[in-house]
Amino acid sequence: MVGRRALLLAGAALPVSAYAQCVTDTHAVDSCRGGIRNGVVVPAPTLALDFTVPGTLPPNVVFTRASVGTYFDINGAMQTAATNTPRWTYDPVTHALQGVLMETARTNLLLNSATLGTQSATVTAAATTLSFYGTGSIAYSGVATGTLVGAGAFPQRASVTFTPTAGSLTLTVTGSVLNAQLETGGFASSWIPTTGATAARAVEHCSLTDAVMFGGTTDRTVAVDAWARQVASVGTNSTWFMLSDGTAANFMQMISPQTVPNVRGGITVANVSKLNGGDTPSGTRPTLFKSALANGAVWSGAVNGVLMAGAGSVSQQLGPLTILNIGEGVAGTLQIDGALRRVSYWNTALSNAQLQAVTT
């Protein structure tokens, strides 16, 4: 199998963005090289996006977040990223790079949250999560009751999720309670600093538009290598990628359904669902996982080297597509709670054996 440089020298056309990523970006060499993977011959991807190079987004990727956001650096220290700046986040204990952090929008309802004092907050009748770092405790009373005890020295974090009735929640602080957060949602998200008022962290958006690359074929494969931090909350899904024409009428996507640590494929053509299933376990959260979905004459998919249930079933092929949403769905919906590591695209439908090879 010839490499991408050989194809270029032979006169075969490559999309400019694919060439920039796969030939000139030395960090992407391994991702872009075809060859034998786990005993199976796999072609080099048309496009390989590497999110594991701190400080450098893949070419042509657009990233936005309309607020600051916190993350852990390589030394396990909490840092703050400026508006519209990606957060390359690390495990605070092992210091392993997780990737570019992507989260939904959240609001910290506590005031002066860096070093918390006793106070009251107004909450709604929805899943609510209280969290903090430190060795102290927070007793909460009023529209919900309980006590959250610290998990230990930083960066250990304690959290509890409960559903209060709407009204005033009183939080009584004892001891060391640092970087505290009270937020609507089924799990603790990254800390949102506050002073004399509540503060919000905006949702992150990540996408790449290339009508020539994505629209030039009816056979496609997309693979995602990601760090999943939490399962999706009740009432929502997590979208690892969506390749579409910019609408919800024509797309292929890989999602994690709400409250379940699985990965599911989705293909919709002209507003008619051709695939919404194939649920395959991706591992207990938090976890690293790899998944891939192919749409050709039949659909196939794999997660961590295991074929998705129903792989090889007939599905109608999609027409021209234009935009790849990464870590979210069309129009910035159904975001993940996790970290992006790599996203690869082939303008061909990989075989079942190839899908297993690239996700192992």
What CATH number belongs to 106-201? 2.60.120
CATH 2.60.120.200, domain 4-63+204-358, yes or no: yes
Q: How far apart are CA 356 and CA 313, in angstroms?
A: 16
pLDDT at 31: 52
72: number of Cβ within 10 Å: 21
Q: How confident is the model at residue 28 (pLDDT cuts 50, 70, 90)?
A: very low
Structure tokens at 161: 């999720």
Predicted local distance difference test score (pLDDT) of residue 7: 32
Q: From the centroid of its chain, how far is CA 140?
A: 32
Neighbouring CB atoms inside 10 A of 12's CB total 10
Range(s) of the chain covered by CATH 2.60.120.200: 4-63+204-358
Q: Which two tokens stand for residue 175?
A: 């001891």
Other C-beta atoms closer than 10 Å to the C-beta of 49 total 28
Where do runs of H (alpha helix) occur along 20-160?
29-32
Q: What is the three-class DSSP state of 156?
A: strand
Amino acid at 49: L
The confidence band for 6, taking pLDDT boundaries of 50, 70 and 90, is very low
pLDDT at residue 1 is higher than 50: no
pLDDT at 36 over 60: yes
Q: Is the pLDDT of residue 65 over 50?
A: yes
In angstroms, the CA 244 to CA 329 distance is: 9
Say whether 335 sits in a helix, a strand or coil: coil
Nearest partner of 345 among 19, 46, 25, judged by Cα: 46
Residue 169 identity (one-letter amino acid): L
Burial of residue 204 (CB within 10 Å: 0-12, 13-18, 19+) is buried
Helix (H) or strand (E) holding 241: strand 238-244
Confidence of residue 302 (pLDDT cuts 50, 70, 90): very high
Rg (CA), the chain: 22
The rounded mean pLDDT for the chain is 89
Contact 18, 31 (CB under 8 A): no
| Lowest-confidence region among 95-104, 128-137, 310-319, 335-344 | 310-319
Least confidently predicted of 65-69, 97-101, 232-236: 232-236
Q: What is the mean pLDDT of residues 337-349?
A: 95
What pLDDT is recorded for position 32? 60
